[in-house]
Every structure is written in C-alpha cells, then in structure tokens.
Amino acid sequence: MRTPTDDSVFETHLPLQGRRQGKVRDVYDLPPDSNGPRLLLVASDRISAFDVVMPTPIPGKGRLLTSIASGWFELLRKQNLVKDHVLSTELPAISGIDESLRHSLQSRTMTCRAAHVVPIECVARGYLAGSGWAEYQTSGTVCGVKLPPGLQQCDRLPTPIFSPATKAVEGHDENISFERAGEIVGADLMRRLRELTLNIYSIAAQYALERGVILADTKFEFGFALDRNGSTTNELMLVDEVLTPDSSRYWPLANFEPGRDQPSFDKQFLRNWLLKLVQSGSWDKTPPGPEVPSEIVAGTVARYEEALQKLFGK
Ligand SMILES: Nc1ncnc2c1ncn2[C@@H]1O[C@H](COP(=O)(O)OP(=O)(O)OP(=O)(O)O)[C@@H](O)[C@H]1O
Ligand SMILES: [Mg+2]
C-alpha cells in the first residue's frame, strides 16, 4: 500500500501463489475447485494511460471498477450469449492477512476460473474516436473498413465495427486486420469472437444509452477454461474486466456533439492533462509517468463514480 493515510491500494503482496501484475490488476492463483484452477483478480487503484502506469493511486478506483464490471457480468449472464469467468465477488478466506489488509481488499476482488486467454483483444467501435478517428482522417477507413466520406470526429458509425488488436506483452497493443487475427488464432474462432463482441457491444450500448451514457467503444478478452489438470478445454468464456471506464470510452449523452472531443467518464480526462505535458515537452509518454496532481485525481475518481451511478444506480 502506497498511501498509509487512506485505504487506497497501489499494489498488493498477498500470501498466495503465482503473483503477477498487470497494469491495473494483481493476479494470484487460488486453490482449484472441482472444475479446475481458479484465480484471484485484485483491482488496485493504479491507473495507466498511453500504456504507462502513473505513480499516483486513484483512491477507490479499484472498487469502482470491480462494481462496474460485476454489474455488467451479471447483466450479460442473463443474456446467455457466452459463459464468463466470474465465480465470486466475495473476498475469499486468505490465511495470514490481518483485518486492515482484509478491509482494504474488500470489494476489489474477483474469484475467477483460470483461462487460456486468446491473445487477441476484441474491440467493438460504435463511434469515430481515438485510433479509429486517426485512421479515418488519413485513409477514410477504420481498421480497414471503408467508411462514407465526410464523417466528423466522434460521429456515430453506420454500423459498429469489430477491430482486433494483438495483446502486446510489452508496450502498445497493435490494431491488426481480421484476416491477420484469423491467421494467429484461427479463422473460425475469430468469426465467433467477432459475433460475440458485436452482440455484447450492442446490448451494452443500448443499456447505457437508456441511462444517458454513450458507450463509444470497448474491448473484451476471451479465453478457454482450464480443466483440473490445467489443460485447455474448448469451453469459451468472457474473461478479464468488462465494460469498465478502463476498457471503454463512455460519453455523457447530454453533452454529445460530433466534431470535437467529448467530455467523458473514462481516462480521457487524465489523458488530456497528460497530453498538455507532452505538448510542453515535460513528458514523452514513456515510463515513469508523472505524479498526478490532486485535482486530476479527484476529477478522475468523480468520473468513475458518475459512470457507476448512471449505469447501475449505485
Ligand atoms: N480468467 C482469466 N484467466 C487468465 N488470465 C486472465 C483471466 N482474466 C483476466 N486475465 C488476465 O489478467 C490480467 C489482468 O491484469 P490487467 O488488466 O491489469 O493487465 P493489463 O495490464 O491489461 O495486461 P495485459 O497487457 O496482459 O492485458 C490480464 O493480463 C488478463 O489478460
Ligand atoms: Mg487489462
């Protein structure tokens, strides 16, 4: 824990096996159940932008992220489109941790079925933003898909587009064509992932829109469950986090106006502050990230809170 004065969690060192760290989550092995191996995903208060983890925690972000992802997992489960990896959002018994550590872990964990993760990020885009907007300006396409001329920044796309990316072990994920993704993991699997991604996106985007929120784009990860011997089965699951402000662009519908950048409920607020540093030459998007000032921390927390409130009324 980085800041002793509050209950924010920058990183964890739990007495569990197999600790590994993503940019935001700490992942541990839990003892297997009768179906197979399990993982504990701990959402820390780390925030990353441009694939660089900032040194400043965003207090409470891990809890907000876990609440949002759980809300979506619950909602999607009812749709019966695909299985998911969530077993529980209750903090499991972990021997050897004290009450204060237990308290700080509360509401930031997910016990999941371990998967062999498909090494392709499945992105659905319903609006012209980010790298999609950049590509459209130079070539009139988004992820190779030809679009009508004259679209403006943040315009709604005629139909949502599936755009796969590689899951880079180090550095930035890279957009790739659908064909290339098929070469890496198999064309049949990619067709299935494309259909699932677009179906989940359209259900989620509709749900969000009814609550005054535009889901501009989002990213899913899928994986195959492991069996008791740790071998890969053919049981496909939705894994990782889903539809959080870390993995999605969320815009308030009330302020939506194509032709400019949108105010957002996600990391864009932090990114915009960072971009000013880049423009002034004080940061070059490489680690270490700069300390984030308190007003940007507070503004970021407020945006994640608003997203949870609007989407799930919490
Ligand atoms: N059910 C699962 N089985 C195995 N790995 C999983 C499962 N769900 C999520 N993961 C992995 O756990 C990690 C979560 O950490 P985090 O999201 O912080 O990582 P990240 O920085 O996005 O890393 P990566 O670049 O590997 O995606 C990711 O690598 C994700 O692929
Ligand atoms: Mg991730």
Q: How far is the CA of 209 from the centre of ligand 2 (A)?
A: 24
Q: Whose CA is nearest to atom 29 of ligand 1?
A: 22
Q: What pLDDT shows up at residue 18?
A: 98
Nearest CA to ligand 1 atom 13: 22
Q: With bands split at pLDDT 50, 70 and 90, how would you rate the model's confidence at 6?
A: low
What residue's CA is closest to ligand 1, atom 23? Answer: 22
Q: What pLDDT is recorded for position 2? A: 42
174-175 and 145-146 as β-strands: parallel, antiparallel, unpaired?
unpaired
Cα angle, residue 19 at apex, residues 111 and 123 outer, rounded to 5°: 60
Separation of 22 CA from ligand 1 center, angstroms? 6
- Whether the per-residue pLDDT at 244 is higher than 50: the answer is yes
Structure confidence at residue 92 (pLDDT): 96
What average pLDDT score do residues 150-165 get? 96
Pocket of ligand 1 (CB under 6 A): 22-25, 27, 39, 85, 112-115, 117, 167, 221, 223, 239-240
Residue 288 has pLDDT above 50, yes or no: yes
Phi/psi region, residue 281 (left: phi>0; alpha: psi -120 to 50; beta: rest), is left
Q: Which of 237, 177, 198 lies closest to 35, judged by CA?
A: 237
* Residue 239: other Cβ atoms inside 10 A: 25
Q: Does residue 122 surpass a pLDDT of 50?
A: yes
| Ligand with minimal distance to 120 CA | 1
Q: What is the percent of the chain where pLDDT is above 90? A: 91
| Contact status, residue 18 vs residue 28, Cβ threshold 8 Å | yes
pLDDT at 171 over 80: no
Average confidence (pLDDT) over 273-281: 97
Q: How far apart are CA 166 and CA 101, in angstroms?
A: 36
What would the pLDDT profile of 44-80 be if each residue is shown by its tens digit?
999 999 999 999 999 999 999 999 999 999 999 999 9
pLDDT of the residue at 123:
97
Mean pLDDT of the chain, nearest integer: 95
Average pLDDT rounded to a whole number, residues 129-149 = 93
Which ligand minimizes its atom distance to the CA of 27? Answer: 1
Q: Quick one: which ligand is closest to 43's CA? A: 1
173 pLDDT band, cuts 50/70/90, is confident
Residue of minimum CA distance from atom 30 in ligand 1 = 240
Instruction: Please determine, for residue 1, whether its predicted confidence score (pLDDT) is greater than 60.
Output: no
pLDDT at 107 over 90: yes
- 23 C-alpha vs ligand 2 centroid, how far in Å? 7
Mean pLDDT along residues 106-133:
97
pLDDT bracket for residue 273 (50, 70, 90): very high
Residues 161-175 have a mean pLDDT of 85
The span from the CA of 242 to the CA of 312, in Å, is 14
Q: What residue ranges define each of the domains in the chain, with the CATH number in brackets?
A: 17-116 (3.30.200.20), 118-276 (3.30.470.20)
From the CA of 19, how far away is ligand 2's center (Å)? 16
Least-confidence region, from 37-46, 122-131, 162-171? 162-171
